[in-house]
Amino acid sequence: EKNTRNKASFSTYGTRVDCHAEGDWQIYTTGYGDLYSTDGENYYYTDTFAGTSGASPIVTGAAVALSSMLWIYNGSIYAPKEMRDLLRRDGTPQASGGHIGPRPDLRKQVEHMTNRHLQMESTDFDGDGKSDYAIFRPSDGRWYIRYATGATAVYTWGSKGDIPCPADVNNDGRAELIVFRPWQGRWYIRYWNGSTTSIVWGAIGDIPIPLDYDGDGRAELAVYRWWTDNQGRWYIRYWNGTSTMIPWGVKTDTPLSRDIDGDGRDDLIVFRTNGKWFVRYAAGGYGVDTWGTWGDIPLCYRASSGNWNIAVWRPSAGMFFEKVFGGASQAPFYYGVAGDIPRYADTNGNNWDEATIYRPSNGRWYNTVSGVTSWGAVGDIAATR
């Protein structure tokens, strides 16, 4: 039922009914049809709908909308298992005792898209050389940080709709709390000495990617702009006040950035729907490699060699696939399930990353070295790398 979210008397229910939607004669449509009476040719067609005839298209429409947005913004697709988990987890719950899954909530579910492809330069918030577990809670704009020492802290910095982009922007060895506000094109930075600043750099629709493109130890504010035409463009703002625009990528690419060639400067990377990686080196020149397939989530990680390698996590299988860029691949391994958020993080300070999974359904982190850590809740954004 629309207002109470109670199960209608004629509804099917049970553990395999994943979602619900309005089905109590509250759905209207318009158009021309063949069903008509003396009241007019459109009378029955434009009358109210109920039951699965009305509820099913609402759920289907939500799935189509989410898939379309993921394709437009990140050039990717949801695996069927991943989509089902997303619709079941982040919707509006039914009234108690209904035994039917939640109603789709696109506002919450679009945040999962941000979670899926979040770009961060660092999440070592205390400067001890270890990645800290952090989550950003869109509902209240708070950062919840669990340091590698076990200590915890909460900071209010940001608001709903912001994209968390932690990075070390002053070369003090600690990642600052940073959010990008898409509708303003503005970055908000909170330094650890208590000072704050905001900088306009970007526009609505841009993808924020903090990176150290000049190798000075300070992450620059950068955005990837895909929406003006088919050309992908990187806009990089240096801390000396200068800026540059570099064309690299196409509209449906997924942008990333890491120091692939080991010269101390982050390179511009795009992952394409055909599984190809295109790297534009900060020193000049470019490289191409093929690793992954459409729908995979691309990642970069620091290996035991100290070099940055490429990887994909496959939602449909819950598997990591790792590879040296332009070189040998590693044995793939299972870690995670559809609906999880893949990350890499150096939680023990040995200067190489461990495969890490954040599970939105229970707020737990799963790390291949340190094990399981409970830190987060449904709806949080996993702000850790």
The predicted-structure confidence for 50-91, as pLDDT tens digits, reads as follows 666 667 788 888 999 999 988 888 888 888 888 888 888 877
If asked whether residues 251 and 311 sit together in one domain, one would say yes
- pLDDT (0 to 100) of residue 99: 72
d(CA 142, CA 146): 13
Residue 46 has pLDDT above 60, yes or no: no
pLDDT digits (tens, 9 = 90+) for 166-213: 999 999 999 999 999 999 999 999 999 999 999 999 999 999 999 999
Tell me, yes or no, whether 50 lies in a domain. yes
What is the number of domains present in the chain? 2
State the virtual CA torsion across 119, 196, 192, 380 in degrees, nearest 10.
-40
- pLDDT (0 to 100) of residue 60: 87
Cα dist. 175→169, 172, 224, 233, 383 in Å?
A: 7, 8, 21, 26, 11
CB atoms within 10 A of CB 105: 16
If asked whether residues 277 and 188 sit together in one domain, one would say yes
Residues in a beta bridge with 144: 135, 154
Give the domain-ending residue among 75, 110, 145.
110
On the 0-12 / 13-18 / 19+ scale of CB atoms within 10 A, 332 is middle
Mean pLDDT value across the chain: 90
pTM to 2 decimal places: 0.87
Residue 301 has pLDDT above 60, yes or no: yes
Tell me, yes or no, whether 10 lies in a domain. no
Tell me, yes or no, whether 358 lies in a domain. yes
- 28: confidence class by pLDDT, cuts 50, 70, 90: low
Range of the domain at 77: 24-110
- pLDDT (0 to 100) of residue 47: 55
Least confident of 40-49, 123-132, 195-204, 355-364: 40-49
Mean pLDDT of 135-148: 95
If asked whether residues 175 and 209 sit together in one domain, one would say yes
- pLDDT (0 to 100) of residue 42: 54
Closest CA to 202 of 223, 233, 218: 223
